[in-house]
Chain A
Amino acid sequence: MSSVAILAPGRRRIRWSRVVIYSIMIAFLLFFLLPVYLLLITSFKSFDQVSLSRMWDLPTRFSLESFDRAWNGGEGVIGMRGSFWNSVQLVVPATVISCILGSLNGYVLSKWRFPGSETLFTLILFGMFIPYQSVLVPLVEVLREIRLYATIPGLILVHVVYGIPITTLIFRNYYATVPNELVEAGKIDGADFFGIYRHVMLPLSAPGFVVVAIWQFTSIWNEFLFGLIITNDPQLRPVTVALQNLSGSQFTQWNVQMAGALLVALPPLLVYIFLGKYFLRGLLAGSLKG
């Protein structure tokens, strides 16, 4: 023992600190995975296996009954199939339009600055911090007036408009890394506003578009307040509102709720798993310049 300690005096100490580090990290790992474990085991249990006193036990038999009920409905549960389709119809166009607007705004605010453009940018940015409660009532009034209240296009409009600040921010900061010399060279070659956009900026924009598309996709998919207020028609509910209704129903069928939660979580989770790098970049872009 002692001879080992003499031979490698530093080693023992370092190894102990490693033990502490890994213990803390694994403890947090368990904390982060505990809800996932519960979600998975519960949603794969059949109805006759659901018992509160054995809620932490693994399912004795693998079953998709809960998913069937959560998706198709039945016995006091409104299925989420319809709202899933609503969310898709909402998220796809809103994301595409957001990307186009954000890209154009970012291009103007980084390469075509004009007097007051920085002030305009700051004023636009503020829009992403406001509590949406402070615009809800006028928003509903205006949407009613233009006949878009309680419609999917209305919800698309809302998400596109309130997405302008973040999409503009990400694209502006992204385009700021494109050297101005490239733009100047384009001008000298006689390219106009769109020529430079088309031939200089767009070919370099792919990562920017991926980051913004992922950001808008996940945040619109996950959004709740606008969905709740603007689609008071149960037929038009997005998934988050449907899930909240599922959990608020009279009879608490935990396995159906967990299956529903898993279904809602799945699309953004897949994005995170396969495009995590870009997802993270969007997250960090949301924290301004850091």
Chain B
Amino acid sequence: MRQAKTLSAHPARRVRWMHRDRAIALAMIAPSALAIAVFVYGFIGWTAYISMTDWRGLTMSTSFVGFDNYLTIFNTGRFQTNIRNLIVFTAFFLASCLVIGLLLAVLVDSRIRAEGFFRSVYIFPMALSFIVTGVVWQWLFAPGNWPNDPTGINLLFKQSGLGFLQAAWTTDTNVVPGWRIEGVRTRIGIPMAMIPVVVAAVWQMSGFVMAMYLAGLRGIPEEIKEAARVDGATEWQVFRTITLPMLQPITLSAVIILGHISLKIFDLIVTMTGGAPGNNTEVPGLYMYEITFKANKFAEGAAVAMVMLVVVALLVAPYLIYNRRTEVER
């Protein structure tokens, strides 16, 4: 509407110019649009196609088998274990990051000394590669011959008189409680070896969540809180009824960001455990890599990748569409 008005307000020569500029604008974004069309949507379509063939081994196969590969992977104990591990990792990772992130944000925001220093230290792991994080935490959680001859964090516990806290960490094969259910080919529960991986991931990402919450906290007008205090609300009531509800959009963003990182997690696990012990810390991202590039089961690998994509899309697409709607309304 606005555009039409501007155009009619100018002489004909200007209108031609505007059209030319419009064409240039389209031409400038075309290469990127095309690249995304091919490298994102085209390749996803191609992978979807591969996932419905029987491509195994080095020569490509195009014989169509429908959803057979999906049935195959969902029926293997290994992929079921992957899914269990991913659920456990995602749940613990998200919950810990949100709680720690919010806690640190509130503390940093409570007019403390050396605020900038604390904030910088909490956030710095975000600048590192998951590979660096993995290498360092792998050593921290290397249990050694505990309890007598421990290494890493076990040794630190022993030296500081907290020897009872020693554990097998990344070598722990237990699944708690480890229920067996008819028809499910994996033990249901929390694979204990996943805990150190979660700790490392939380170490890396919780500062980021803090930064998000901190930006949110700083955006809440002090007058609103002050008004509530004047009305006799306690600090806890102010937090519960004003601060928390106003931080809700931040929580949503954080869940989307952390969620998609978590569902795709690969490098941290490769470095820290490589999926061991057994397949107790293996996740679909790693499984796809193993069966595609090491075992050459391209079709099954493609099926795993498509499952990952669908799960991430279910998380992200509604958010993107919702964001677009509110944007247009503005």
Contacts and interface: CB of A to CB of B under 8 A. Distances in A.
B327 interface: yes
Contacts of A52: 144, 151, 155
A289 B50 CA distance: 36
B140 interface: yes
A265 B260 contact: no
B44 A272 contact: no
Interface in B266-292: 266-267, 270-271, 274, 284-285, 288-289, 292
Contact of A290 (B250, B270, B292, B320): B250
B29 A109 contact: yes
Main SS class of interface, A: helix
Given A137-B47, A222-B131, A290 B211 contact: no
Interface stretch (B30-38, B72-80, B226-234): B30-38
Interface in A204-231: 218, 221-225, 229
A268 B128 contact: yes
Interface residues of B, number: 106
Contacts of B129: 221-224, 240, 243, 264-265, 268
B317 interface: yes
Nearest to A165: B36
B103 interface: yes
A122 B288 CA distance: 27
B43 interface: yes
A118 B36 contact: no
Interface in B9-47: 17-18, 20-22, 24-26, 28-29, 31-33, 35-36, 39-44, 46-47
A286 B208 CA distance: 11
A127 B126 CA distance: 21
B271 A247 contact: yes
B215 interface: yes
B67 interface: no
Given A38-B136, A126-B320, A137 B155 contact: no
Interface in A112-140: 112, 114, 118-127, 129-139
Contacts of A148: none
A192 B24 contact: yes
Interface residues of A, number: 91
B239 interface: no
Contacts, number: 257
B103 A287 contact: no
B152 A120 contact: no
A133 B285 contact: yes
Interface stretch (B117-125, B164-172, B181-189): B117-125
A257 B317 contact: no
Given A126-B317, A162-B39, A286-B257, A32 B125 contact: yes
Contacts of B140: 34-35, 38
A154 B306 CA distance: 24
Interface string A87-130: 00000000000000100110111001010001111111111011
A130 B309 contact: yes
Given A133-B285, A164-B32, A264-B131, 16 more contacts: A35-B136, A39-B136, A101-B32, A104-B29, A107-B28, A108-B25, A126-B317, A131-B309, A135-B40, A137-B301, A139-B43, A222-B130, A224-B131, A225-B289, A265-B128, A280-B211
The 5 closest A-B pairs by CB, nearest first: A222-B129, A112-B25, A135-B43, A272-B127, A138-B46
Interface of B: 6, 17-18, 20-22, 24-26, 28-29, 31-33, 35-36, 39-44, 46-47, 50, 100, 103-104, 107-108, 110, 112, 118, 120-140, 144, 149, 151-152, 155-156, 159, 203, 207-208, 211-212, 215-216, 249-250, 253-254, 256-257, 260, 263-264, 266-267, 270-271, 274, 284-285, 288-289, 292-293, 298, 301-302, 304-306, 308-309, 312-313, 316-317, 320-321, 323-324, 327-328
12 contacts: A28-B104, A105-B32, A114-B22, A118-B324, A130-B40, A130-B312, A131-B308, A133-B301, A224-B266, A265-B129, A283-B211, A286-B257
